[in-house]
A and B are shown apart, each in its own frame.
Chain A
C-alpha cells in the first residue's frame, strides 16, 4: 500500500499538486510563504560572525536578516532531510560528483564541474538576495499570490537562465 513511497519518480503533476497544497498549509500553519534563499544569507552571516565577531550584526543587511537559525533555515534543513529520506526509500541515494549531461559535453573530471558549480553558486546566491527571493520564494510562492515581484522575477530567472544554458551547451560544445 505504501509502495508509492519507494517509487523512483512521481508524476510531475502529482508533485506540483503536492507543493501547491503544502504552500496552502504553510500559509495556515506559519502565516508565511515557502522560500529558501534567506537561509543561505543567514548562514553566511553566522559564518562571518565566527570570523569577525559580533560587529557583523551591525551590518545593514544583517540587521534586516539577523544571522541566526529561523523558520526558513529549518525549512531548508527539512528539504535536505526529506529528499534524503525519499532517495533512501527508493534506493536512488548515491554519491555523484559529475552529472551526466555535464559529462557528455565537458568530460567527467571532478574539478572543472566543482569550480563551475562554485562560481555558479556565487552568482546565484548574489542574484537571489539581490532579487529578494529564488525559484521557491518568487517562482512558486510569489506567483501563486499573484505578486508583481514574483511574476517579474520568474520571467527574469528563466530568460537569462535559458540564454546562459544555450550559450553554455549549444555554442560551447
Chain B
C-alpha cells in the first residue's frame, strides 16, 4: 500500500529525520537525557526509564499488531542467538552503566548540552562500533552462531495467535506500572 513511499529513498531520509525529531523531543521531555535518571534506574532508585519503556512497549505492541491485522504494517524482528544477543547484551549493559546514556538518549543528551555525552561518550561509541567492525569476522566464525534462534517472535515460537500473548502481557505490564505507582516509586 505504501510501497511507493517506502522505496522513495530521499523522502525516506526526510521521514527518518522527522521521526527522530519527535523521538528526541519525547526523550528530552521524559528526562531520560539525564545521566542521573538512567543510572538511577539501574540502581533501582528512579523508575522513569522503566515507566517510559513499559508504556511505549504496551502502546506499540497493541498498535503495531492492530496495524498488521489491517495490512498497514509488517513486523521486522531482528535475528539473534545466545552468542550474539545474550553475550552482546551483557557487554552493552556494562557500558550502559559506566557511560550512563544509551545510543539513542546520548544523541538527545548532546542536544541538551551534556558535554560528557558529546566529548566522552559519543566518541567512545563510535570507536567501540569501529572496533567491533574489525572483530566481526573472527566473532562471526566463533561466538555469534552459538545457540542461534533466528528472527523469531514469541507467537511464532509458541505457535499461537499474537493476541494470546499481547493481552495477558499488556495486562501484566500495566499491573507492574500500577504497582510501581502504589509503592511510590
- Name A residues whose Cβ lies closer than 8 Å to a Cβ of B: 7, 9-10, 12-13, 15-34, 36-37, 39-41, 43-45, 47-48, 59-62, 65, 69-87, 92-102, 113-166, 168-170
Contacts and interface: CB of A to CB of B under 8 A. Distances in A.
A101 B29 contact: no
B92 A131 contact: yes
Contact of B124 (A16, A98, A124, A152): A124
Q: Which of A22, A43, A170 has the most CB of B within 10 A?
A: A22
A86 B26 CA distance: 8
B154 to A, nearest CB: 5
A130 B57 CA distance: 23
B35 A76 contact: no
Given A75-B17, A79-B23, A129-B129, A97 B116 contact: yes
Given A87-B113, A124-B103, A165-B42, A7 B97 contact: no
Contacts of A25: 19
B133 A13 contact: no
B183 interface: no
Contacts of A79: 20-21, 23-24, 27, 104, 107-108, 111
Contacts of B151: 147, 149
Contact of A76 (B43, B61, B63, B107): B107
Nearest to B132: A129
Summarize B's interface: helix, strand, loop or mixed.
helix
A161 B152 CA distance: 25
Contacts of B48: 12
Contacts, number: 535
Nearest to A33: B76
Contacts of A162: 42-44, 93, 97
Range, interface on chain B: 35 or more
B19 to A, nearest CB: 5
Contacts of A142: 77-78
B128 A121 contact: yes
Given A128-B88, A157-B96, A148 B157 contact: yes
B89 A83 contact: no
Contacts of A147: 75, 77-78, 80, 151-154
A29 B5 contact: yes
Nearest to A125: B128
Contact of A28 (B36, B73, B94, B144): B73
Nearest to B13: A74
A119 B19 CA distance: 30
A74 B20 contact: yes
Given A27-B67, A116-B120, A161-B93, A123 B128 contact: yes
Nearest to A155: B89
Given A127-B92, A138-B85, 15 more contacts: A12-B52, A23-B64, A25-B19, A27-B74, A60-B140, A61-B133, A80-B20, A120-B121, A129-B132, A130-B87, A147-B80, A149-B77, A159-B90, A160-B94, A163-B97
